[in-house]
Structure 1
Amino acid sequence: MNHRVFLAGSEIAFDCAPDQSVLDAALRAGIELPYSCRKGVCGNCAGGVASGEVAGVGGASIRNETCTPDQVLYCMCAPVTDVVLQPTEWKRADPSARKAFTGRVYKNQRVAHDVSLLQLRLPAGQRAKFRAGQYLQVLLDDGSARCYSMANPPQESDAVTLHIRHVAGGRFSTQVGQLAPGDTLRVELPFGSVALQDSERPIVFVAGGTGFAPVKSIIDDMARRKLVRPITLIWGARTPDGIYLAAAVERWKKQWPQSFRFIPALSDVPAEDAGDAFCGRVDEALAASCGELAGHEVYCCGSPPMVAAVREAALAKGLAHADFHADVFVPGPSGTPSAELAAIASHAI
């Protein structure tokens, strides 16, 4: 039996099936709620339930450590009764934004021993609409998909650039090294809602490895729009070659000589060999290098343990819970949501 889902303080209402998350039901109805991983890890979709009852889809937990006591994870819960949701924010989805493209490999460059920079050109005359910080899905022949953040800013809409870490035994990443100019890949975008908030507050970006990709998109977008905010970038890697796009960082230093600070954090390098880098993990770098974070915003992109550690360190520094934004890189396949979310393109409430 379907239940009716309402958004508090609005006239928005939509149906949700018993085995469907309220997040997926909202997306199908053309309503965009905050989300990223869709696997109950990042906590971006956490929001309140003003009335009614929800339960975990398939018995899943509806809360994690990112939730406040009055919040649940919209990606993991389904309604048991009619419910009224109280999300942190929502907006109507742009029905023309999400599209599938056949991209053609333009460049495939190994920028570190375990990272490839893959640039895909879109078909002539076609443009991708996305916000800096969002991600796409590479659609594979077996029906599964792999998620990668766009590393280019939205202004470069005729192409997408991906930073792909090579994972031993990975279904797609093991093939990336063989891709040559002219080869094609099917991609769909955009997904996710880790995007820059309109604000003039100081901002701290924390990236681990290829978590640098969405951060690069956001900072390049800020540069294109000539935004000026105090920016601290902490980029973590095991060894110096993990800081694989130092040229981009140097470019930002020149654009914002007074307001941009870069802290490379190297976890597997002895202190005597670290040079100007912080010797340790990114959460330790944040704790050691940043003062009181009340009134700041923190954007953190990387693995679940890394994001959890950075969140704990940032909150200990006085950051407000709502000012921590996470893009959690969860390994493994993602179910292709094309059919599941196809109604977005044609349905308007």
Structure 2
Amino acid sequence: MNHRIAIAGSDIAFDCAEDQSVLDAALRAGIELPYSCRKGVCGNCAGGIAQGEVEGLGGAAIRNESCTPEQVLYCMCTPRTDLQIRPVGWQRIDPGARGRFTARVFRNQLAAPDVSVLQLRLPAGQRAKFHAGQYLQLALEDGSTRCYSMANAPHESDALTLHVRHVPGGAFSARVPLLQQGDLLEVELPFGAVTLEPGSPKPLVFVAGGTGFAPIQSILDDMAKRRIERPITLIWGARRAEGIYLRSAVAKWQRRWPDSFRFVAALSEEDGVEEAFAGRVDEALHTHCPDLADHTVYACGSPGMVQAVRELAVQRLGLAAADFHADVFVEGPALSAAESAAA
């Protein structure tokens, strides 16, 4: 049975099937609500229910730590009745703007002991339309998908650059070191709404953990291309110095914004590294950005890292909750021992 969902204060309404999330129903209708992980972790899709009742998809929890008492996670709930929702934001999108491509491996470089930078090329004459900070879905042979953020800026629309951390037993990441030039991969994009707010003058703080640097690289390269001038702080965390695997990109931004770009490398398991902060990214944030009132923060990385940064920024450093944007990297299921052996 379908239920009707209306957006409060607008003339927008769309249908939602009983086995479909509110978020997916909106996206299918060409309405983009804020979202990222679509797995109930990041909290980006949290919004209010003005009228009606919802329940968790398959019994899933419809709230997490990022929700206020009035909010639910639109990605994890489905209507029990007709609804009126109050999202924190929405916009119309063209459902046909998302494209599927057969991409070809162009270059596969080991950037750190456990990170590959994978550059893909699209077929001749095809272009991928996306916003800096969005991600793609990569289809595997078993029908499952994996999500990776584009690290290149949107103007490089005939190519896609991915930062892939090697996860032991990972269904895709464990195979990345074996990919050769010319190998084909099936991708669909774009997904996600963790993008730069247009026109805002607020100082920006980016917090990356590991390959959470990828969407931030896309955003900063896009800002440089569009000549956007705002105060910028980038805090990039890794266990050891070798995990800060693209210092050349950081150096480029330091040259581009010599007076308004600040970089902090946070190393959680290595002391005594020159010009590096010894500790976690949330500790570095507290030290280097003690007052976040009237700032905008983007945190990209593991669920635990993002949650620690969110709690610190909002509860202790004065950041408005609406100015926190998260891209949570949730790992897919690992291969079984038998599958790993077969691979």
> TM-score when scaled to structure 1?
0.94
Aligned partners of 2:27 and 2:95 also within 8 Å: no
What secondary structure sits across from 1:220 in the alignment? helix
Which 4+ stretches in 1 moved above 6 angstroms?
A: none
| Counterpart for residue 266 of structure 2 | 265
Q: Give, in angstroms, the shift of residue 333 of structure 1.
A: 5.0
| Counterpart for residue 72 of structure 2 | 72
User: Where do 5+ consecutive residues of structure 2 fail to align?
Assistant: 335-343
| Counterpart for residue 98 of structure 1 | 98
How far apart are the structure 2 equivalents of 1:166 and 1:333?
13
| Counterpart for residue 174 of structure 2 | 174
1:88-132 C-alpha deviation (Å, 9 max, x unpaired): 111111234200000011100000000000000000000000000
Letter in 2 for 1:5: I
How far apart are the structure 2 equivalents of 1:61 and 1:291?
33
How far apart are the structure 2 equivalents of 1:58 and 1:137?
23
How far apart are the structure 2 equivalents of 1:290 and 1:162?
29
Higher mean Cα deviation, 239-248 or 87-96? 87-96
**Counterparts of residues 155-234 of structure 1 (less than 5 Å):** 155-198=155-198, 199-234=200-235
| Counterpart for residue 341 of structure 1 | none
Distance change >3 Å, CA 217–CA 35, structure 1 → 2: same
Letter in 2 for 1:212: F
How far apart are the structure 2 equivalents of 1:2 and 1:97?
25
Aligned partners of 2:37 and 2:192 also within 8 Å: yes
Letter in 1 for 2:281: V
| Counterpart for residue 276 of structure 1 | 275
Aligned partners of 1:62 and 1:72 also within 8 Å: yes
Letter in 2 for 1:174: A
Aligned partners of 1:238 and 1:268 also within 8 Å: yes
How far apart are the structure 2 equivalents of 1:332 and 1:167?
10
How far apart are the structure 2 equivalents of 1:275 and 1:328?
29
Aligned partners of 1:144 and 1:333 also within 8 Å: no
Aligned partners of 1:102 and 1:187 also within 8 Å: yes
Letter in 2 for 1:248: A
What secondary structure sits across from 2:107 in the alignment? strand
| Counterpart for residue 132 of structure 1 | 132
| Counterpart for residue 144 of structure 1 | 144
How far apart are the structure 1 equivalents of 2:82 and 2:155?
42
Letter in 2 for 1:215: I
Q: Give, in angstroms, the shift of residue 6 of structure 1.
A: 0.6
> TM-score when scaled to structure 2?
0.95
What secondary structure sits across from 1:212 in the alignment? helix
Q: Confirm or deny that 1:23 pairs with 2:58.
A: no
User: Where do 5+ consecutive residues of structure 1 fail to align?
Assistant: 335-349
What secondary structure sits across from 2:125 in the alignment? coil
Identity of aligned residues (%): 69
Q: Give, in angstroms, the shift of residue 221 of structure 1.
A: 0.4
Aligned partners of 1:208 and 1:237 also within 8 Å: yes
Letter in 2 for 1:195: T
| Counterpart for residue 309 of structure 1 | 308
How far apart are the structure 2 equivalents of 1:309 and 1:291?
15
More relative contact order in 1 or in 2 (CA 8 Å, sep 6+)?
1
How far apart are the structure 2 equivalents of 1:253 and 1:97?
34
